[in-house]
Amino acid sequence: MNAATSGRCSVPARISTAPQDRHRLLVLRHGGSELLVAGEWPPFTLPSVKVPRWERVAENVMGAVKKRYGISAICLFTPALSATTSDGEPPLYQVMESREGGAPAPQQTCWVPVHSLSDQSFADGRDSVAILRMLRQISEFRSGAVTGPFGKPGWIEELFFWIQSEIAPYGLRLSGEIRQLNASPTFALLRLETNGQAVWFKAVGEPNLREFAISVTLSRHLAGFVPAVIATHPSWRGWLTTEFPGRSLDEVGEPRAWELAAQTLAELQITSAGKTDHLLEIGCRDLRVGSLLKLVDPFLDVMSELMERQPKTPPSTLSREQLARLGRHIKDALSDLAHLDISDTLGHLDFNPGNILCSSEHCVFLDWAEAYVGPPFLTFQHLLEHQSQMTLHCVPAPEHLADHYVSPWVRHVSPSTIAAALRMMPLLAAFAAAATSDWTGAQRGRDERFSGYLRSLVRRMQREAGTLYAKRRPSDAGLNAMGSPFLSGSAKESR
Helices 377-389 and 255-272, packing angle to 10 deg: 160
Q: What is the chain's mean pLDDT, rounded?
A: 90
CA distance 51 to 70: 16
**Rounded-to-10 torsion of CA 265, 267, 272, 274:** 150
Residue 491 has pLDDT above 50, yes or no: no
Q: Please, which contacts does 304-311 make with residues 24 or more away whose CB atoms are closer than 8 Å?
A: 305/443, 306/442, 306/443, 306/451, 306/454, 306/455, 307/455, 307/458, 309/451, 310/451, 310/452, 310/455, 311/448
Examine the domain organization and report whether 310 and 329 are in the same domain.
Answer: yes
pLDDT at 493: 32
Examine the domain organization and report whether 251 and 238 are in the same domain.
Answer: no
Q: What is the mean pLDDT of residues 229-251?
A: 96
pLDDT at 87: 55
Nearest Cα residue to 36 out of 84, 126, 100: 100
| 83-133 confidence digits (pLDDT tens) | 544 556 789 999 999 988 788 899 999 999 999 999 999 999 999 999 999
Examine the domain organization and report whether 278 and 425 are in the same domain.
Answer: yes
**Strand runs (DSSP E) across 337-464, as ranges?**
345-348, 356-358, 363-365, 371-374
Does 393 fall in a domain?
Answer: yes
Run of H or E residues at 421: helix 415-435
pLDDT band at 17 (very low <50, low <70, confident <90, very high): low
Residue 2 has pLDDT above 80, yes or no: no
Q: What is the mean pLDDT of residues 144-166?
A: 97
Nearest Cα residue to 377 out of 329, 344, 399: 344
Q: Contact 417/338 with Cβ under 8 angstroms? A: no
Query: Last residue of some domain: 86, 110, 143?
Result: 143
Does 313 fall in a domain?
Answer: yes
Q: What is the mean pLDDT of residues 248-275?
A: 94
Please give the residue that has the higher pLDDT: either 230 or 253. Answer: 230
pLDDT at 26: 98
Examine the domain organization and report whether 294 and 403 are in the same domain.
Answer: yes
Residue 487 has pLDDT above 80, yes or no: no
CA distance 182 to 159: 15
pLDDT at 7: 39
Residue 482 has pLDDT above 60, yes or no: no
pLDDT at 393: 67
CATH of residue 225? 3.30.200.20
Examine the domain organization and report whether 360 and 468 are in the same domain.
Answer: yes
Examine the domain organization and report whether 83 and 198 are in the same domain.
Answer: no
| 48-65 confidence digits (pLDDT tens) | 999 999 899 999 999 999
pLDDT at 480: 38
Q: Contact 201/240 with Cβ under 8 angstroms? A: yes
Examine the domain organization and report whether 73 and 88 are in the same domain.
Answer: yes
Query: Last residue of some domain: 89, 108, 143?
Result: 143
Examine the domain organization and report whether 325 and 457 are in the same domain.
Answer: yes
Q: What is the mean pLDDT of residues 300-314?
A: 94
What percentage of the chain exceeds 90 in pLDDT?
81
Examine the domain organization and report whether 394 and 315 are in the same domain.
Answer: yes
Examine the domain organization and report whether 112 and 181 are in the same domain.
Answer: no
Domain tally, the chain: 3
Residue 261 has pLDDT above 60, yes or no: yes
Q: What is the mean pLDDT of residues 61-78?
A: 95
Does 150 fall in a domain?
Answer: no
Does 149 fall in a domain?
Answer: no
CA distance 190 to 196: 17
pLDDT band at 475 (very low <50, low <70, confident <90, very high): very low
What percentage of the chain exceeds 70 in pLDDT?
90
Give the residue numbers spanning the domain of 187.
155-242
Residue 481 has pLDDT above 80, yes or no: no
Residue 445 has pLDDT above 90, yes or no: no
Q: What is the mean pLDDT of residues 178-201?
A: 96
Query: Last residue of some domain: 209, 242, 275?
Result: 242
